[in-house]
Each structure stands twice: as C-alpha cells, then as structure tokens.
Structure 1
Amino acid sequence: MSQSGSLLFVKEKLLLREQLWQSGEELQQQADFCSTLGSSACSLLWSCSSREETITTWLSDGKLHTFLNIAAQTLESFVKSLDEEIKPPAEDHSSNENQFVLALVGTITNIAAVTSGRDFLCSSGHVVLDTLMKLLHLMRPGVFPKLKVLMLMALYNVSICVKGLKHIAQNEDLIPLIWTLLDGRAHWEVCLHCLRLLQSFLLEDDVLLLLGSRLLDQELRARVGRLTSSTQPGLRASALQTLEDLKALCPKDGKPS
C-alpha cells in the first residue's frame, strides 16, 4: 500500500471511530431521556393512584391487567440485574431507574389499598402477586429496603381480602420467605411490615389450616423472638404480639392447637 493510501486508510479509520463515538453518545442521551420520561410518568401514576376514583377508572378501562403484567416483567428484570452485581448497589432514590421501580411498586400498593383494586388483584392479578413474593425471596438482605417495604405493603393490602390471603398462603415458599426477611441484617421497617403480613395469617382460621405445622417452625419463632428486644418501639411491640400469637398455636402438650 502506498503512503497516500495508508494515510487515507488511517483517516477513514479515525472518521469511523468518531462516528461510532457520536452514535454511542446519542444512544446514551436517548436512554437517559427515556429513563427520565419513564420515571416521571410512573411517579405521576403513583401519585394519581392514591385516589380511589382513579383506580375505579382504570378498572373500567379494562387495561389494568396489561399494566400489571408489564409491571411484573419489569420488576423481575430489575431485581435480576441487582443479583448480577458483585456488590450490592447503593440505594440512590434520586436515580431515574430506582425512582421508576419504586413508583411502579407504589402504584401496585395503592391499587391493593382500594377494595375494587384489591378484589381485582385477588382474582386476576396472581402473576404480579407471585412475582412480588418471588422477588422478595431473591433480593439479598440489606438491599433496597424501601422497595421491599413497598412490596410487603402491597401483599399486606391484598391480605385484607380472605381470597388474597389464601392465595398468598398457598405459596410453598411463604414461611421460608418470612423468616428470610426477618434476618438480623434486614432493615427494621422490612421486619415490621413482614411481621404485619405474618399477623394476617395468624388471625384467619382457614389460613391457619392451610399453613398447618409450617407456622410451628422453630427458626421462625426464634427470629421473631429476637425482634422483641429491638430499639424500635413499633417493631418491638409488633414482635411481642406476633410471638404471643405463635405460642398460642402450640399448647403446652407440644401439639398444634
């Protein structure tokens, strides 16, 4: 190759490299824009869903089922990306991605807080309920406690309905999930909302029959017992009450009541 040909080749290579860099910058700008847009839009949904009439309108439109399925898929992808990290990422609520996910779960929580929305989730939202339980089990202790709290609040809201409570109770991983969430490394608010969910099961006779001896798990009782010495008053009181309810399931003869 002649010197002029070599020089032309180098120039073309540099030009292509410059174009590639510019394309990368443009793609990143587009991704940042879409992330900001998604975060803002979902935050608006979260805010609007706090009004009961909004949930009623969404149900009448018949599109809530599609939204819940997309939400379940999005949450699963997000949590799996966390699991791929070597170190747990910092919980930066100001980041667009994290705010988007928090708003998504917050919207589901608000839907479950309304009677009509709760009924819909209990009958047609099993996918999202099962996904929330699955993801709570996958997320490592200490990672994104605010997201876990919102997930637990959504499940608790659903548990107000006996039909929803029975669906959650039928999940074989329920008890292992609860004592995993009551891990000593967990944030106190995660433990508190986990106890509230557990208490829902302890107050419903039909559900107690479904869970049977699983509620007599010694590790579960031990973890609840450790929380009775918490410095957080609300958590300590909830742990004491839950422990009493668990003890009441097993009389002095050691057999389940």
Structure 2
Amino acid sequence: MADVQCETHVLVSSSELKGMVSEITNLKNQVPKVLAEVFDKASKVESLEKALESKCKEMEKLKVECQHLTAKVEVWMVECEKEKEDKLILRKKVAETRQHLAHQAEYCTAFGAAACTLLWRVSRSEDTVQTILNGAKVEEFFTLTSQTLDSFMKSMIEEGKRKNIDEEENQFVLAMAGTITNVAAASCGREYLASTSAGKIVLDVFLQLLMQMGVGQCIKLKTLILMALYNVTINCNGLKYIAEKNGVANLLCWLLQNESEADLRCQVLRLIQSLVVEPDTSNKLTADVKSLLCDGFLESLTTDRNADVREVAMEIRDDLKALQCDI
C-alpha cells in the first residue's frame, strides 16, 4: 500500500510574508550581537568565579592568620594578667619598703636628735670642743651637718611645711646648729670654722638658711645661727670671711627690720656691731649698714621695750658716730 503524504498548505498573504521575512532577517542580524553578549557575560562569570575562588583562598589565609593572632592574643592576655599580678606584688613590696624606710627615717631622726642633743650639751665645754676637733670624723660631722641643714630647708620649701615641722626633726636640726654654736664659742672651734673648707661650708649654709627662712619662722634656729656667726666673727679670719660675703649687710638689716622676736633681733644687732666696729672689716660694709639702717630706725631701737636690744642699739649708734668722726 502506498504511503499517502498529506501536505498542509497555509495561504499567507504577500504582505504578511514580507513581514515574516523581514522579521527573520532582523533576528538573523541580532544573533551575532546576542551571541557576543552571551560570550561576554560568560567571560565575566568566569572572571568572577576566579575572583571568588581567589577571595575564598584569601579568606582562608586570613582565617588562619586570625586564628594565629587569636592564639597570640590569648598568650599575651595570660602574660598581661601575670604582669598585673607581678605589678601588684611589686607595689606591695614598694609600699612595704617605703613604710620600712619611713620607720628607719623616723628612727634615724629620733636617734640623731638624741645624740646631737647630748653632743650639744657636752660641747659647752671648750675641752670637749677640742676633743671633738681632734677626732677622726670631725670633717665628716661638719659635712653631714651642712647637708642636713640644707636638706631640711629645701624640704620645707618644696613641701610648704614651714609651720608644721616634725618635732624630732626640728630637735635634730636645732641640736646640730646648737652644737656648731658651742663649737664657735671656743677659740679652737672658731679657728676651725674660719679656716677649713668644711667649716666654711657650714657658715655658707647658715647664711643661706637665714636668707631662705620666712619671717617669723624657725626663730630658735635663726637665733642659734646668728649666735654662731657672731662667735665666728670674734676670730679675725672668721670676721673677714663673713664680712666679705655679698649681701650680708642687706640680710642682717632685713632681719632686724622684719623680725619681731626680741632675742633674735638682739643677736642680729650684736652681729652687726661685731662686723661694723672691727677695723678688719671694709668701709663699704659699714657704709651699707648706715645706709640700710636709717637714723630714725636705729634711734627707735634705742627705746625698744627689750633692755638688751636697747643697749646694743645704743652701742651701735655710738660706734657709728665714732667711726664717722674718725673719717
């Protein structure tokens, strides 16, 4: 039996056929462009996949590094905690050491105050002073005295404790100054203070203390220092050494005009008198004193309530008049 082929034909109008042909032609023309876009997108996808793969590898690397750093941080944190514990231990030790040093300082101050107070008392004898000066540690004693007095003054200035002075420390310093005053009361002591480097340093520190201490402060210490300086001026070398110090006239006149304690003012007057009336002192020092102590002020001291102040003031007035007549 023969195959029967059925063909179906669709009648298309000429205009529709032309439209279809035009559309097919247009689609054919679009194919290269579409393919180019597809290939371009595929290339971009491939590039993105490679970039993603690279980023993934980089992320893995960073993850490993992060884990490594995390491990280091944990180690550092442990070490930091250990250091904190060590610091706490050290702080406790430092606090204990400071407390121990404070106790030692208090003990040394108390011991020094007691020892120097005893030395102050026994040094009233000239024979004892001679024994002290013949000792092996005499230069060291005078050096320590200078350093102690200087340190005492600096600590008061820095800490602003001019009025609140520790009793033991105050007694220690007073005893040291008192011992030097007693040494200066002996002829051998005056010679030592005026002729040795250690003795001159003590005198320099004494003058510095008088300059630095405030008005009305450390009256006993100032009085002892002035007594010591007066004693030293009995020695010719001592007189010359103190008289040649720059500003000594200004210092003494300032103390006399500003301090109100009678005994201290009397000691200032005695020292001024010793410096002015001795022939070994310069005329400049005498002129400075006369210039700084005007006649009215000096005259007012001759009527002071304190008998000692009145007496010494009158002597200085008469001495200055006599010196002026001699000139």
- Is this contact kept in 1: 2:181–2:231, CA < 8 A? yes
Matched, 1:41 2:115: yes
Supply the distance in 2 between the matched residues of 1:171 and 1:56 (Cα, whole angstroms).
Answer: 28
More RCO (CA 8 Å, sep 6+): 1
Flag the 1:19–1:53 CA change in 2: closer, same or farther, 3 A: same
More moved, 11-20 vs 105-114 = 11-20
SS in 1 for 2:217: coil
Flag the 1:248–1:27 CA change in 2: closer, same or farther, 3 A: same
**Offset of residue 216 of structure 1:** 2.6
More moved, 119-128 vs 103-112 = 119-128
Supply the distance in 1 between the matched residues of 2:129 and 2:263 (Cα, whole angstroms).
Answer: 27
Supply the distance in 1 between the matched residues of 2:83 and 2:137 (Cα, whole angstroms).
Answer: 56
1:97 alignment partner in structure 2:
169
Flag the 1:87–1:38 CA change in 2: closer, same or farther, 3 A: closer
2:135 maps to a residue whose letter is D
Supply the distance in 1 between the matched residues of 2:97 and 2:161 (Cα, whole angstroms).
Answer: 30
For residue 164 of structure 1, the aligned residue among 238, 241, 250 is 238
Give 5+ residue unaligned stretches, structure 1: 1-7
- The 5 A counterparts of 1:127-138 are 127-138=201-212
Supply the distance in 1 between the matched residues of 2:127 and 2:187 (Cα, whole angstroms).
Answer: 11
- The 5 A counterparts of 1:210-249 are 211-219=285-293, 221-249=295-323
1:198 alignment partner in structure 2:
272
Matched, 1:209 2:271: no
1:4 alignment partner in structure 2:
none
1:116 maps to a residue whose letter is C
TM-score (norm 2): 0.66
TM-score (norm 1): 0.83
Larger C-alpha radius of gyration, 1 or 2?
Answer: 2
Flag the 1:51–1:13 CA change in 2: closer, same or farther, 3 A: same
For residue 80 of structure 1, the aligned residue among 141, 148, 154 is 154
Supply the distance in 2 between the matched residues of 1:9 and 1:112 (Cα, whole angstroms).
Answer: 58
Matched, 1:112 2:199: no
- Is this contact kept in 2: 1:216–1:249, CA < 8 A? no
Matched, 1:71 2:145: yes
**Offset of residue 105 of structure 1:** 0.5
Flag the 1:223–1:73 CA change in 2: closer, same or farther, 3 A: farther
More moved, 26-35 vs 208-217 = 208-217
- Is this contact kept in 2: 1:170–1:210, CA < 8 A? no
For residue 60 of structure 1, the aligned residue among 134, 143, 151 is 134
Tell me the percent identity: 39
- Is this contact kept in 1: 2:146–2:202, CA < 8 A? yes
1:98 maps to a residue whose letter is N
- Is this contact kept in 1: 2:145–2:176, CA < 8 A? yes
1:115 maps to a residue whose letter is S
Supply the distance in 2 between the matched residues of 1:65 and 1:23 (Cα, whole angstroms).
Answer: 32
2:154 maps to a residue whose letter is K
More moved, 237-246 vs 106-115 = 237-246
1:173 alignment partner in structure 2:
247
Give 5+ residue unaligned stretches, structure 2: 1-81
- Is this contact kept in 2: 1:215–1:246, CA < 8 A? no
Tell me the C-alpha RMSD between the 2 structures: 2.9
More moved, 183-192 vs 155-164 = 183-192
More moved, 116-125 vs 81-90 = 81-90
